[in-house]
Structure 1
């Protein structure tokens, strides 16, 4: 499962880190086959596929 801890800013110039007592886990949802579903509900194989997904920017992927 992808944890949101890695998405928190680490630089003190962007925003301060919260103390552990104030932090909470977020639930990651993704679109699968036309509907939305929480990643935590995936089986082990599907969670592995989710972590291996490649993300792209639509503008950069356009055909010339």
Structure 2
């Protein structure tokens, strides 16, 4: 679902520039993508725990 929402937002931003008769909308769309990627990276750095995962001794451990 996130991919379809992202594609819709980027397409809308790019189309706004095309309606004005310039290609500036594509620059704005790439900027939106870069900001979203940076925000996603920052969130991932905050959510992913550091260190090596501990083995739990579950049924799939050899």
When the two structures are superposed, what TM-score results if normalisation uses the length of structure 2? 0.28
More helix by share: 2
Higher CA-based Rg: 2
> Which structure shows the bigger proportion of residues in strand conformation?
1
RCO (CA 8 Å, sep 6+): is it higher in 1 or 2?
Answer: 1
